[in-house]
Structure 1
């Protein structure tokens, strides 16, 4: 009887992962398999990152993985994401327990990343994309009405052409989060306030890049809403200190996979999701010199630097 009991316990231990604590031991997060996995960060693939992020979401700073991920963020560790055309999109961890999950749990997404390069192709915020990639504008689209919520770029990033560029293991493991943006009427509407959208992939806002808003915009109609579009991501603390002129850390992000201007882009600028607070036709963008407070008409095509959470 004793031998039979010991044998049974041994089998259960092997199946369940160990009985040392009276419960199953969690599996080690999945590691990257070179040549197979399309997502790799700090040695983990998309499924592994999702497991780590879920643990952080549940346990907060008490998670086993918190210290290691915090060091990765501080050190600026880069990951790689292989797009459908075979090009590699580098990305960095910019926030831990920063974004709200959209699942109603009241928890934060464990890990938030941002690409450290632009997608190979440039996009307008609104309007109809041209068939010719050398064309720098979209038909129509000279508006920021409805903000990020109603923009064509948001649609393309979450369910359309841009979303389809991401590999299956990425699509199956990213966490949908709530992003606050000025979506009321036009970006310049007086007294406007931010509202949430549920996004799998998004653009960072002006407020998520800078420590404070530019004082010179206080008289503009949409200034109040700009301040409600999130808070500066942890990675940018102490690195992005100027809200009006150049920041070296931001000027280094643009360089594309090929080292050239994205198809159809006339300038090396990249979009933010924030509507311009004093014009009804523009969104904010980051210039080639790292200035985060530029703006341009929504029908023009500029670089897209996606952000996402696990």
Structure 2
């Protein structure tokens, strides 16, 4: 018989900042590790390391934010992630709600999508994961042709690993940044059971943003 225990320990932002500056962040934190943060609104969130970069880590909310949000005010995915209202909201409003110490450490990420033959680029501190990052390349050409060149994130290999909750509402649907390849009015989402799905861009559903340190 086995017993497993989760160990929780205190850590200071300065410790993470120093490890980042020294290029040793991956020695301090590993994929699967979680950090609790409190927004300036008082909302408490948990972020989880879900993958690695060359010298750092990729983090994603473990569960959805309390409030839902739409990808666009209108029912369109024209302009993909770059031109979405969601991108403006995350990087114009939510970024300023993060703890100052965390916000200063976030490394902007360059995101490239190809939508209707047009290359769309942006550089963002906060972003949503893509279809390929969550589900891998299988099926991506049909579901989300804009994002087929990306890498499947290490932590999301099963449906169970992709399930997220929305506070007070149980398991919930949440947005991906990938326009749905078969319909100009929809973006891809992760369903409440962790499977692939889609929703009209103007619908308000769950948000689980990511960032890089």
Could you say which TM-score interval applies, normalised by the shorter chain? 0.7 to 0.9
**In 2, are the aligned partners of 1:175 and 1:200 still within 8 Å (CA)?**
yes
The gaps in structure 2 that reach 5 residues or longer are: 1-7
Alignment pair present for 1:282 and 2:186: yes
Cα shift at 1:87? 2.3
Offset at 1:169?
A: 2.0
For the 8 Å contact 1:213–1:227, the answer to whether it is kept is no
What's the counterpart of residue 94 of structure 1? 50
In 2, the alpha carbon distance for the partners of 1:193 and 1:294 equals: 24
Higher normalized contact order (CA 8 Å, seq sep 6+, divided by chain length): 2
The verdict on how the C-alpha distance between 1:109 and 1:125 changes in structure 2, with shifts beyond 3 A counting, is farther
Using the size of structure 2 for normalisation, the TM-score is 0.85
| Largest Rg, 1 or 2 | 1
Aligned to 1:53: 20
Q: Runs of 5+ in structure 1 lacking a partner?
A: 1-40, 57-62, 98-107, 128-140, 241-246, 262-266
Q: Does 1:170 align with 2:74?
A: no
Aligned Cα root-mean-square deviation (Å): 2.4
> Is 1:226 the counterpart of 2:147 in the alignment?
yes
Aligned residues: 206
**1:110 and 2:31 matched:** no
- Kept in 1, the 8 Å contact 2:45–2:65? The answer is yes
Report whether the alignment pairs 1:159 with 2:105. Answer: no
Residues 124, 89 of structure 1: alpha-carbon distance in 2 compared, 3 angstrom cutoff: same
CA contact (8 A) 2:174 2:189 kept: yes
Residues 55 and 110, structure 1, Cα contact 8 Å, conserved in 2: no
Alignment of 1:76-155 (within 5 A): 76-97=32-53, 108=54, 110-127=56-73, 141-155=74-88
Higher strand share: 2
Which of 186, 202, 205 is the aligned partner of 1:299?
202
Deviations 1:263-287 (CA, angstroms, capped at 9, x unpaired): xxxx921000000111111100000
Distance in 1 between the 2:91 and 2:134 partners?
22
Please point out which of 201, 206, 223 is paired with 2:126. Answer: 201
Q: Which of 124, 138, 142 is the equivalent residue of 1:213?
A: 138
